[in-house]
Structure 1
Amino acid sequence: MFPTLKTERLILRELVEDDAQAILDCFSNVDVLRFYGQNSLTSLDQVKQIISNFSNNYEKKAGIKWGIEREGVDGIIGTIGFQEWSHEHKRADISYALSPEHWGSGYATEVVKKVITYGFENLGIKRIGAVVFVENTSSNKLLEKLGFEKEGVLRNYMYQDGVPHNTNIYSLLNDKSI
């Protein structure tokens, strides 16, 4: 059964086909994608396939992706989850995105803290990694505030719109408290 998580103001729940339009809106937004390293999503059919892939990854225990919903308000405002989940090596990478109208609300901090705790306490993860564009000041600050340590810079590691970008590589070990 897919885990539903709650924070003070938010619910993290399984993504379903009804979320396709909200995901399309978020991941076709140039401001969201500026530092995401992903091409713009272009169709509901494409998004429905991605939702199906998320479900399959969870069933195979290869990743988990939640939709972020405000308590008492239908519809997601972003996504968060783990990918590159390795049971053998007890590690996963975290990624998250919010629609721009919800930036600056503290929601990202709230959900990242919750997912980190869940990963350490419920999934047996010992190391959570994050790869962030050097230019993504907000995300870099968020991770550092939550105790992630910068391990280095990966040069020309991700492309956005055909342009190479350097990325910071971060990690958080579960021997640290957040």
Structure 2
Amino acid sequence: MTDKNFTPFPVLKTERLTLRQLVDSDDKEIFALRSNDDVNKYLGRKPSKSLDDAKNFILAINESIQKNDALYWAIALNGADKLIGTICLFNFSDDNSKAEIGYELLPDFQGKAIMQEAAAEVIDFGIQHIGLNAIEAYTHAENQSSTRLLDKLHFTRHRADDDNFMIFKLIRNAERTTNR
């Protein structure tokens, strides 16, 4: 069973976080996130150069969500609407049984288990509501923070064709789907 209809957009809540859809007023925080050298260090993308880059990014992401091609959440602390990071499910397989997860967090909020909390919620949503059987993550071999996060979330490591990257996979199992 797969349900890949992202309208209305699924807002997710955890003990400390609200995961919501990107809005136009997130442009300054998206710019800060996507232009930050530390955040971009392992991503292999060109940094944002202007607020217009951020606005165009938000527009493109929301168009992708409308087409049910991806889910992309702004991460905000409960009680505050300011974006501190993002997390997404994208690159769905043709049968919608597999997707890729991606995430980024402003440096001031790293090391506080925020991404672990957000990712656990997104993974459970993907399995329980979309019907994903597998979630993959690609990370640079030197990105120890991402590697530790994926280990904590019970992803297993797989070798990538490129020695600079590692593939992590999480396969749906009975224990994970019944513990929610």
* Same fold by TM-score greater than 0.5: yes
Give, in whole Å, the separation in 1 of the partners of 2:80 and 2:96. Answer: 38
In structure 2, the partner of 1:56 is: 63
Give, in whole Å, the separation in 2 of the partners of 1:12 and 1:89. Answer: 22
User: Which of residues 150, 161, 165 is equivalent to 2:157?
Assistant: 150
| 8 Å contact kept, 1:19–1:75 | yes
In the alignment, residue 53 of structure 1 is paired with which amino acid?
A
Per-residue CA deviation, residues 13-64 of structure 1 (Å, 9 max, x unaligned), is 0001100110100110101111122110111112111111111111211111
Residue 74 of structure 1, CA deviation: 2.6
Q: Secondary structure at the match of 1:135?
A: coil
In structure 1, the partner of 2:100 is: 93
**TM-score normalised per structure 1:** 0.90
Q: Secondary structure at the match of 2:131?
A: coil
Q: Secondary structure at the match of 1:142?
A: helix
**TM-score normalised per structure 2:** 0.89
Give, in whole Å, the separation in 1 of the partners of 2:16 and 2:105. Answer: 15
Identical counterparts, % of pairs: 35
Q: When you count helix as a share of all residues, which structure comes out higher?
A: 2
In structure 2, the partner of 1:162 is: none
Give, in whole Å, the separation in 1 of the partners of 2:149 and 2:161. Answer: 19
In structure 2, the partner of 1:172 is: 170
User: Which of residues 33, 58, 61 is equivalent to 2:40?
Assistant: 33
Give, in whole Å, the separation in 2 of the partners of 1:49 and 1:98. Answer: 20
Per-residue CA deviation, residues 54-96 of structure 1 (Å, 9 max, x unaligned), is 1111121111100000011231001001110225151110000
Runs of 4+ in 1 over 4 A off after TM superposition: none
Residue 113 of structure 1, CA deviation: 0.3
Per-residue CA deviation, residues 111-166 of structure 1 (Å, 9 max, x unaligned), is 0100000000011111100000000001101101111011113316xxxxxxxxx1
In structure 1, the partner of 2:5 is: none
In the alignment, residue 7 of structure 1 is paired with which amino acid?
T
Give, in whole Å, the separation in 2 of the partners of 1:62 and 1:19. Answer: 21
Aligned CA-pair RMSD: 1.4
In structure 1, the partner of 2:89 is: 82
Paired residues, what number? 169
